[in-house]
Amino acid sequence: MEDVISIAENPLLREMCHYVLTNHGKRVRPALCLLAFHLLGGEDSKRAIDVGSAIELIHNATLVHDDINDEGEMRRGAKALYKEYSLGRSIVAGDFMFALGFQLMGTTSNDVVHFVISAAAAMGSGEFDQKKYERNVAADEAQYLKIITGKTARLLECAAKCGAYLAAPDDLESVEKVGNFAYNIGLSFQIIDDLLDVIGDSKNTGKLVGNDLVEGKPTLPTIYAMQDPTYGARVREIFENPSADYSDAAEAIELIKKTDSIDRCFALAKHYADLALKDLESFKDSSYKQSMIDFANFIVSRDR
Distance of CA 20 to the CA centre of its chain: 16
Cα separation, 76 vs 93, whole angstroms:
18
Contact 75, 23 (CB under 8 A): yes
pLDDT tens-digit map of 57-82: 999 999 899 888 877 777 777 889 99
Q: What is the mean pLDDT of the chain?
A: 92
Cα separation, 98 vs 85, whole angstroms:
19
Residue 303 has pLDDT above 90, yes or no: no
Burial class of residue 265, CB neighbours in 10 A (0-12, 13-18, 19+): buried
pLDDT tens-digit map of 251-295: 999 999 999 999 999 999 999 999 999 999 999 999 999 999 999
CA quadruple 119, 121, 122, 125: dihedral, nearest 10: 160
Contact 147, 19 (CB under 8 A): no
| pTM to 2 decimal places | 0.91
Residue 203 is predicted with a pLDDT of 73
